[in-house]
Amino acid sequence: MSRAILVLKDGTVFEGKSFGAESEAIGEVVFNTSMTGYQEILTDPSYKGQIVTMTYTQIGNYGVNEQDIESLGGPKAEGFIAREYMDLPSNWRSVSSLGSYLKSNGIPGIHGIDTRALTRHLRKYGAQMGIISATDFNPASLLAKVRSHKDIGDADLVKMVAGNDVRAWEERVWRWPASLVESTPALEQVRLRMVVYDFGVKLNILRNLVDADFDVVVVPAETPAEAVIELKPDAILLSNGPGDPKTVTYAIENSKKLIGKLPVFGICLGHQLLGLALGGSTYKLKFGHHGGNHPVKDLKTSKIEITSQNHNYCVDISSLKGQVKLTHRNLYDGTEEGMQHIDLPLLSVQHHPEAGPGPNDSTGIFTRFREIIKAA
């Protein structure tokens, strides 16, 4: 394997080996604490504009397969960082090594660096822009490149990952072994139509909606609210997606027009967009929440769920001035993880209830929202 180098915007340098494309990539460097699920992480559109560091030590053990993808069109992360890359995958579903997968999609990867030191640095000083290069090994040159690059909050990243067409979605959650699992029985005879705004939607969200007995129609991110209403949905879902919610101004405006007319459910970026549409504010976390082991308390049931997370921004619930009640709280740092409107059929969560990767503790939120629709 050839040489590779990582340079952070503050001048910190890590030298290692390349295991992806022989290229360069600039993005906001974050860390993810999941022990498995690197293929789902790489293909999660919410990682657009970011370089992902895995805190687990060995990555690539089971290769990549044809099922564990969370978006169409290949990986969305800008680059990938690991402590030790394993180039001999062993798994019955594997069709390729991780390194080959990255190369075929033009994504650079670096391994052989001290990811613990990098993670501690990001925790202390915050997530920051960085560059991975397997072609230029001059730290001064790379530092100049990353410092002249726009920050992740300066661009609308949603437009780079969202779909462009209206499409129906019928696939259910994949279960192992697929040949032995019968189709999930319908929860009710009457199916409800859910229109999903695609801001970079994870496929497992769509699968979980079908499992919760919704007929799912996906629409592009900039679809006018009036056009969505013409589809005669029973409810709207604002999906996850990348970047700063304040840059997605068209989504905020469309959300304002839909609130009060139809039940609305928001996940991650969708949660943040609802907060802004209601007149609230958002703030950026120091190093974000990324991983599959975040404890969140459901304030309605008092149960603690281990959740999958991938976000850098949070809604300031207090800025909504009593319009909503807090429904979920992150037990790591006390940040707000969910809200429900006091009067309107509106529910949203900051974490990823569909997981992919991660535990399935929170999937009940889909049927909870269905009950809100029925009550409305």
Q: Is 354 a catalytic residue?
A: yes
Residues in contact with 2: Cβ distance below 8 Å, sequence separation at least 6, in sequence order: 17, 18, 22, 134
- pTM, two decimals, is 0.95
Peptide bond between residue 177 and the one before it cis (omega within 30 degrees of 0): yes
**Residue 51 near residue 132 (C-beta atoms within 8 A):** yes
3-154 CATH: 3.50.30.20
SS3 letters across 3-72: EEEEEECCCCEEEEEECCCCCEEEEEEEEECCCCCHHHHHCCHHHECEEEEECCCEECCCCECCCCCCCC
- Report the C-alpha gap between 365 and 184 in whole angstroms: 17
pLDDT in tens, the chain (376 residues): 699 999 999 999 999 999 999 999 999 999 999 999 999 999 999 999 999 999 999 999 999 999 999 999 999 999 999 999 999 999 999 999 999 999 999 999 999 999 999 999 999 999 999 999 999 999 999 999 999 999 999 999 999 999 999 999 999 987 766 554 455 555 555 789 999 999 999 999 999 999 999 999 999 999 999 999 999 999 999 999 999 999 999 999 999 999 999 999 999 999 999 999 999 999 999 999 999 999 999 999 999 999 999 999 999 999 999 999 999 999 999 999 999 999 999 999 999 999 999 999 999 999 999 999 999 8
Task: Give the integer Cα–Cα distance in Å for 265 and 340.
Answer: 9
Catalytic residue among 24, 70, 268, 314: 268
CA gap 243, 36 in Å, rounded: 24
Domain 158-375 class in CATH: alpha beta
**DSSP H helical segments within 259-302, as ranges?**
269-277
For 334, half-sphere exposure in the C-beta direction (CA atoms, 13 angstrom radius) is: 0
pLDDT at 178: 55
Residue 152 near residue 49, CB atoms below 8 Å: yes
Catalytic hit among 111, 289, 311, 352: 352
- Structure-block tokens of residue 11: 């001048």
Annotated active-site residue in 24, 40, 78, 354: 354
Contact 306, 361 (CB under 8 A): yes
Active site (annotated) includes residue 268 = yes
357 prior amide bond cis, ω within 30: yes
- Confidence at residue 175, expressed as pLDDT on a 0 to 100 scale: 72
Q: 130 with 26: CB under 8 angstroms?
A: yes
Q: How far apart are CA 51 and CA 130, in angstroms?
A: 8
